[in-house]
Amino acid sequence: MRIAQVSPLIESVPPAGYGGTERIVHYLTEELVRLGHEVTLFASGDSHTSARLEPCSPSALRQAGVTDYLGYHMAMLERVYRRAHEFDIIHFHVDHVHYPFSRRHSVAHVTTLHGRLDLPELDPVFDEYPEMPVVSISNAQRRPRPGLNWQATIYHGMPVDRFWPVASPGKYLAFLGRVSAEKGLHDAVAIAEAAGMELWVAAKIDPVIDQDYLDRIGRALLRRPCVRFLGEIGDDRKNEFLAGAYALLFPIDWEEPFGMVMMEAIACGTPVIAYARGSVPEVLDDGVTGFVVRDVDGALAALERVRDFDRRRCRQVFERRFSSWRMARDYLDCYQRLLRARLLPHSGGLKRAN
């Protein structure tokens, strides 16, 4: 199959540090190539891939200091559709910015929606383009928009040899992600302080979108005695960081669409202690890959249960549920359904699937 993968240009593929969407694009692209498909990746010029790279910016926009991404993405979409006849299907990972292009071209396409869907400012675009075929990354992500043209829910995956458990995990708690209100650093610190444990924080600081949180409490939290701040880390350090932790804290304060850090910790055999928001009850097998709790007290009770946690079983669940092979096969099934629907006479266009 001839497949185009269209990535955001904000980070490289794979990203050097923070960047969940671009990391998933990388895992999916590499697995599709490994399975023998002809893949073209539209991404930043500093990306690294086994596919054919179509560079659409000299480098990742965030690293280059660019803050307005729209112009670069519009130019990229022009290039995508200039070459549309070369592909059987185009897979978009750029939210909804391509919808006007996609409506006016006949090539098969699908969009994975990677972000939150509960924002009222999204109403106009989804009301105008209800026919666009989309994929959710959890069933929880769909809840605010049940009427979209959903084709599948496909959980993220990663190579099974990317991360591994360690024989003797450490005694620190881990926090991985971004210093922000929705990621719940304040509760992570409260949990660590109440437990008398050290909290290692490997997190991105975004002074643009998280400035208010940083000014109010974020920077002060990073100076607390129990906190060891490591800054933003890449995949080269992530395995050691996660596998060496007693547990990963994920006390989110928003409806998380997936939560890649949970999957990464599970791959390391490290238990995740997470608040029951968004996708958490779907991604975690409570008591097997982690503990689903509701507040600080629940997290403290879960820490007591970590003593008997089976890290080997946790890793086995990762290999079954979250491999990049499984993810790629799920997407290939989705692509083939979309292509078959286009060949059916009098089909009336793309139909919604569940």
Q: Residue range 316-321: average pLDDT?
A: 98
What pLDDT does 205 receive? 83
What pLDDT does 352 receive? 59
Residue 321 to residue 148: CA distance in whole angstroms: 26
pLDDT classification of 148: cutoffs 50, 70, 90: very high
Helix 20-34 crosses helix 324-343 at what angle (to 10 degrees)?
80
What pLDDT does 234 receive? 84
Residue 146 to residue 125: CA distance in whole angstroms: 15
pLDDT classification of 345: cutoffs 50, 70, 90: low
Is the per-residue pLDDT at 18 higher than 90?
Answer: no
What pLDDT does 214 receive? 79
The token pair that represents 143 in the structure block: 């809840």
User: What is the secondary structure of 158-185 as a DSSP string?
Assistant: B-TTS----SS--S-EEEEEESSTTTTH
Q: Residue range 70-93: average pLDDT?
A: 98
What pLDDT does 294 receive? 97
pLDDT classification of 169: cutoffs 50, 70, 90: confident
The domain defined by 173-320 folds into: Rossmann fold (3.40.50)
Share the mean pLDDT of the chain: 94
Is 173-320 the same fold as 2-159+324-343?
Answer: yes
**Count of alpha carbons within 13 angstroms of residue 224, beta-carbon side:** 23
Convert the pLDDT of each residue in 220-232 to its tens digit: 999 999 999 999 9
What pLDDT does 279 receive? 98
pLDDT classification of 330: cutoffs 50, 70, 90: very high
Residue 14 preceded by cis peptide, ω within 30: yes
pTM: 0.93
What pLDDT does 126 receive? 98
What pLDDT does 354 receive? 60
Q: Residue range 38-53: average pLDDT?
A: 98
Q: Which of 1-5, 60-64, 120-124, 238-242 has the lowest mean pLDDT?
A: 60-64
Of all residues in the chain, the percent with pLDDT exceeding 70 is 97
User: Helices marked H in the chain — which ranges?
Assistant: 20-34, 70-82, 99-103, 123-128, 139-142, 185-195, 211-213, 219-222, 235-243, 260-267, 280-283, 296-305, 311-321, 324-343
The ranges assigned to domains in the chain are 2-159+324-343, 173-320
CATH class of 2-159+324-343: alpha beta
Q: Residue range 319-346: average pLDDT?
A: 92
pLDDT classification of 167: cutoffs 50, 70, 90: confident
Of all residues in the chain, the percent with pLDDT exceeding 90 is 84
Sequence length of the chain is: 354
Is the per-residue pLDDT at 348 higher than 60?
Answer: no
Is the per-residue pLDDT at 135 higher than 90?
Answer: yes
Q: Residue range 291-315: average pLDDT?
A: 97
